[in-house]
Copies of this chain bind each other. A is one copy, B any other.
Amino acid sequence: MKILIINPNSDPEMTAAIERTALDFAAGDFEVDCRLTPGAPRFIETFEDELKAAPGMIRLLRDHHDHCDAFVIACHCDPNLDVLKEISRKPVVGIGEASMKIASMLGHRFSILSATRHSIPHKEDLVRKYHLEGMLASIRTAGEGVGALVDQDGYIRAARRAAEEDGAEVIVLGCAGMTRLDRVIQERLGVPVLDGVVCALIIAGGLAKYGLSTSRAGKYDPGD
């Protein structure tokens, strides 16, 4: 089994970090291939950024469709997830969707760590899209800007406040770029911390093994 991980942005370092996490989890049980999206912005922040990433993501999926068994979209805002589900006959899983739905099985409420304040309304919309408003404790950010991605202490503080003040029993890393923070925060706080890439591999790999894919009966009917 081989799973293609599509990083919707074009940042090579983040792509490499995601791939390391995926390889560690796969541990040789299945193959993973992680690709950045040609033509996509360096980071996905706006609605227009999502649109700009779409052609490259569709191209990646179509180019690898025959020889891969499942696809993961490795940006926590699940950009272009619906269109990729529509055009593929194999499982396509977003790391936002997978991590939040698994979080909902591990505790009463979860909080999301967000890389930027700007993402909060987008994440709130995503939580609502997945019918998880009632299980969300809070969305917290460690600070502003891309530099915040490396501020490990800030994320630990944000996660602690989520657990102590907001009632979060589970923490979800809200950006693929936070990969590797799961163990660090979990050791400090003692609550489960979810990396979306791992969560998406669990679902995508499981669906591929089961032989199931997105329903083409209605919403995702490609009309062909």
Contact = CB atoms under 8 A, between A and B. Distances in A.
A206 interface: yes
A191 interface: yes
A128 interface: yes
Interface stretch (A8-16, A68-76, A132-140, A147-155): A132-140
A83 B48 CA distance: 6
Contacts of A106: 207, 212-215
B222 A169 contact: no
B207 A202 contact: yes
A23 to B, nearest CB: 14
B163 A217 contact: yes
7 contacts: A25-B209, A45-B223, A48-B222, A108-B219, A120-B167, A128-B128, A191-B215
Interface of A: 25, 27, 29, 45-48, 50-51, 54-55, 58, 80, 82-83, 86-87, 93, 97-98, 101-102, 104-109, 118, 120-122, 124-125, 128, 130-135, 163, 167-170, 190-192, 194, 198-199, 201-203, 205-207, 209-210, 212-223
Contacts of A50: 83
B223 A118 contact: yes
Given A128-B134, A222-B48, A102 B191 contact: no
Contacts of A132: 131
Q: Which of A82, A97, A217 has the most CB of B within 10 A?
A: A217
A220 B190 CA distance: 13
A8 to B, nearest CB: 13
